[in-house]
Amino acid sequence: MDLLDNINAPSDLRRLSRTQLKPLADELRAFLLDSVSKTGGHLSSNLGTVELTIALHYVFNTPEDRIVWDVGHQTYPHKILTGRRERMHTLRQMNGVSGFPRRDESEFDTFGTAHSSTSISAALGMALAAKTKGENRHAVAVIGDGAMTAGMAFEALNNAGVHEDINLLVVLNDNDMSISPPVGALNRYLARLMSGRFYAAARSVGKSVLPGPMLELAKRLEEHAKGMVMPATMFEEFGFNYIGPIDGHDLDALVPTLQNLRNLKGPQFLHVVTKKGQGYKLAEADPVLYHGPGKFNPAEGIKPATTAKKTYTQVFGDWLCDMAQKDERLIGITPAMREGSGMVEFEQRFPERYYDVGIAEQHAVTFAAGMACENLKPVVAIYSTFLQRGYDQLIHDVALQNLDVTFALDRAGLVGADGATHAGNYDMAYLRCIPNMVIAAPSDESECRKLLSTAYVYPGPAAVRYPRGAGVGAVVDKALDTVPLGKGVVRRKGRDVAILAFGTMVAPSLGAAEGMNATVADMRFVKPLDTELVLELAASHHLIVTVEEGAIMGGAGSAVAEALAAAGVVKPLLQLGLPDRFIDHGDAPTLLAQCGLDAAGIAASIRQRLGKTEPRLVVNNI
C-alpha cells in the first residue's frame, strides 16, 4: 500500500502523476474490501466508486470545491482519502467513523447525508451561495441512479436548470442498481442512453469535453449516426449540459472529462456508468447481498445467517404472505426496500400485488391512498425513518380521508450502526397527533403478528412499529388473529409502582419489575391509548412509570400524561424514553442502556424517583 499509505489528504493525491492513479485505485479497493469485511458496512456501492472518488478529489480542489455525496453510503473511499484511513476499523461503531458523511466528522464531508436524493439541492445551495458571495468554487453532487428516482432530485434539477452562470456539476453514478434491481421508467431511460452508448458524447463533441480516444469514437459514431435525429436528453431539457455516458472505472476518461467540465460555466451533468461491487467477483455477481453485509471472510464470501430467532422483518414478511393468501385485496408496497422490509417472498408469490415504487416515499403513501379509494387494502412497508419523507402525504392524503392503509414501520427505535439519520425514534410522536391514526407497538414477535392483523383489519390508517433485528424469541403461530383495538394487557401484577411499557420496552420493564414487585402493563397501542387501564392502575398504585423506545418529547408517555391530566388525576409520573438529543451510531443494546432503557436502567430510574418524596410530574433522563 505504498501509494495509499502516503495519502492523508487530497492534496497528497493531487501530487501524484496520472499514471499513479490506477495503482492507487487498486490499493484503495483492496484496503476497502479488507476493512469492510472486518467491520461490516456498505460494500458493493463503495467498490463501485473507487475510481470516481479518486478522480473527483484529483480534479477538484477539495474541500474548497464542495462534493456532496447522495445517500453517502458510498463514501468510504472518500473517507479513506480524506484522512480517515487509519480510523476505518472503527466504522459505524460507538465513537467511531460514521457510515455516512458528517460535517462534524471532517471538513471534506461538506453535507450530512444518508436519506437519499438530497445532494443536488444541497449542491445547488452551495453553488448559488458561492455566486452570491463572489467565491469561485465548484459544487459537485454525486447521485446514484436509485437516488435519482426520488422526486426531490427532480425538484432540484428543475430549479438548477435555469441558473446559467453557476459552478454546479451533477455526476450521475449509474450502476443500474438500487439496493434491489432498479425500477421505473427512469431506469429504462438510462438504459436507452447507455445502449446508445456515446451518442450523447457525440452530441457534445462540439464542446470538446471528451478526451482524445473517446472523441475519436464519438466522431465515428457521429458519422454512423449521420442523419439520425439526436433528441436532447432529459437532462438537457432540464437546462444541463449533458455529457456521457462514460466509463466510471476508467480514470483516463474520468480525469480529463472532469477537468474539461470544471472549466465550463452553468449546470453540467456527467453520466458515468459503474458496476456495483466492481473488483470483487462475489459482490459483482450479487450486489444486493453485498450492499450492506456484516463481517465476512472475503476469501469465502458471506455465509447464510444461522440465527435461530426470527427477526421482526421476517415475522412481517411471513404475515404479509399469509394475509395476502387469505385476502386478495392486499397490496404490498415498498419504496425501494424489498430486502430490508422482508418482501422478497411476497414478490415471488404475489408479483401482481407487489409494487416497488423506487426511492419515492411520498409517492408510495399517496399511491397507497389511491388504491384504498378503490377498496383495495394496501400495506406500505417502510422504515420508520423513511416514513418521515411521506409525512404530509400520510396526513393529507391518507388520515384526513380516513383511508384504509396499513403501515408496517420497520426499524422503529434505535437502529445501531446506521446511527441518528436512520433511527426510528420519532414515529410515536409524529403519528400520535394525527386524527384517525391507530398506532400499535408490539412487545415481541408473536404480538407483532397479532397487531399487524389488527391494524390490517382496522378500516382506516394504522401503523405497527417494530425494531430492527430479532426480538425475545417468542414463538409465532400461523394464525391471523387480532386483539381488541386500543386495549393493553397486564403482564405482571405487583403493587406501589405501575410500569406502562410500550413495544420493545415490555421485556426490560419486566426485568426491572422483578426487583421491586411492580406491576407491568404491555400497552400494545399508543393510539387509541387504553385510558381505562391507565386510570385503573393510577388509582391503585403510588407511582406511574411509562417506558418507550421512542423520543420522550411527545411520545407515548405524553399520551399517558395527557390521559391522567384529562381525568384530573394527579399522581407521580415518571416518563422514560429516548432523550431529546440525536443518538449516534453504535451497538443498539449499549445505546439503549446508555439511555437508561435496559432493565437495570429502568429499575435505577424508578428507585431514584421513589427515593424522593415530593409528588411532581417528572420527565427525566433528557
Ligand X SMILES: Cc1ncc(C[n+]2csc(CCOP(=O)(O)OP(=O)(O)O)c2C)c(N)n1
Residues that bind Mg ion (CB under 5 A): 144-146, 175, 177
Residue from 85, 92, 389, 432 carrying the catalytic annotation: 389
Distance CA 485, CA 456 (A): 11
Residue 147 or 283 with smaller CB distance to ligand X: 147
Match 479488507 to its residue by C-alpha cell: 34
Instruction: Find all residues with CB under 8 Å of 209, minimum gap 6, and list them.
Output: 243, 257, 260, 261, 264
Contact present, 462 and 438 (Cβ < 8 Å): yes
**How far apart are CB 354 and ligand X at their closest, in Å?**
16
Q: Does 418 bind ligand DXP (CB under 6 A)?
A: yes
* Residue 374 assigned as binding residue: no
To the nearest whole angstrom, how small is the minimum distance from the Cβ of residue 71 to ligand DXP?
A: 5
E strand map for 58-213: 66-69, 139-144, 168-174
280 annotated to bind ligand: yes
Checking DSSP bridges between strand 525-527 and strand 489-492, what pairing results, if any? Answer: unpaired
43-72: contacts with ligand DXP (CB under 6 A): 71
Contact with ligand DXP (CB under 6 A) among 84, 102, 468, 524? 468
Residue 64 annotated in ligand binding: no
**What grid cell was written down for 451?**
397487531
Distance CA 33, CA 580 (A): 37
468 binds, among ligand X, ligand DXP, Mg ion, none (CB under 5 to 8 A by kind): ligand DXP
For the question of residue 361 being annotated catalytic, the response is yes
Q: Which is nearer to Mg ion, 194 or 610 (CB)?
A: 194
CB of 174 to ligand X, least distance (A): 8
Q: What CA–CA distance (Å, rounded) separates 518 from 501? A: 12
Find which of Mg ion, ligand X, ligand DXP, none residue 418 binds, CB within 5 to 8 Å per kind.
ligand DXP
CB of 73 to ligand X, least distance (A): 5
Q: Measuring CA to CA, how many Å separate 25 from each of 48, 236, 396?
A: 11, 32, 49
Q: Determine, following the binding rule CB under 6 A, whether residue 317 of this chain makes contact with ligand DXP.
A: no
Binding pattern for the stretch 57-86 against ligand X, x by CB under 6 A and - elsewhere? --------------x-xx------------
**45 contributes a contact to ligand X by CB under 6 A:** yes
DSSP labels for 318-376? HHHHHHHHH-TTEEEEESS-TTTTT-HHHHHH-GGGEEE--S-HHHHHHHHHHHHHTT-
Q: Is 375 annotated to bind ligand?
A: no
Q: Is 144 annotated as a binding residue?
A: no
Per-residue DSSP letter, 205: G
Instruction: Tell me whether residue 352 is one of the annotated catalytic residues.
Output: no
Interface map 165-204 toward ligand X (x if CB under 6 A): ----------x-xxx-------------------------
Q: How far is the CB of 424 from ligand X (least distance, A)?
A: 13
Check binding of 333 to ligand X (CB under 6 A).
no
Query: d(Cα 440, Cα 445) in Å, to the nearest integer?
Result: 13
Q: Which residues pair with 334 in a beta bridge?
A: 356
Residue 212, Cβ density class (10 Å: 0-12 exposed, 13-18 middle, ≥19 buried): exposed
| 8 Å CB contact between 415 and 375 | no
Judged by CB under 6 A, which of 96, 101, 112, 146 binds ligand X? 146
Active-site option among 276, 377, 524, 527: 276
Positions 70 through 99 that interact with ligand DXP (CB under 6 A): 71, 73
Rg over CA atoms, the chain: 27
Least distance from ligand DXP to the Cβ atom of residue 345, Å: 17
Report residue 366 CA to chain centroid gap.
20
Shortest Cβ distance from residue 146 to ligand X (Å)?
2
Q: Is 73 annotated as contributing to ligand binding?
A: yes
Contacts by residues 321-329 (CB-CB < 8 Å, ≥ 24 positions apart): 321/345, 321/346, 321/349, 321/350, 322/478, 322/480, 323/379, 323/452, 323/453, 323/456, 323/480, 324/349, 324/350, 324/353, 326/480, 327/377, 327/456, 328/353, 329/375, 329/376, 329/377
x/- mask, ligand DXP, residues 176-215, rule CB under 6 A, reads: ---x------------------------------------
Tell me whether residue 355 is annotated as binding.
Answer: no
Active site residue 295: no
Kindly give the residue spans of alpha helices, DSSP state H, lying in 105-163: 119-133, 151-160
Binding site for ligand DXP (CB under 6 A): 71, 73, 179, 292, 340, 411, 415, 418, 468
List, as residue ranges, the binding site for Mg(2+). Answer: 145, 175
Binding site for ligand X (CB under 6 A): 45, 48, 71, 73-74, 114-116, 144-147, 175, 177-179, 276, 336, 359, 361, 386, 389
Residues annotated as part of the active site:
276, 361, 389
List, as residue ranges, the binding site. Answer: 73, 114-116, 145-147, 175, 280, 361
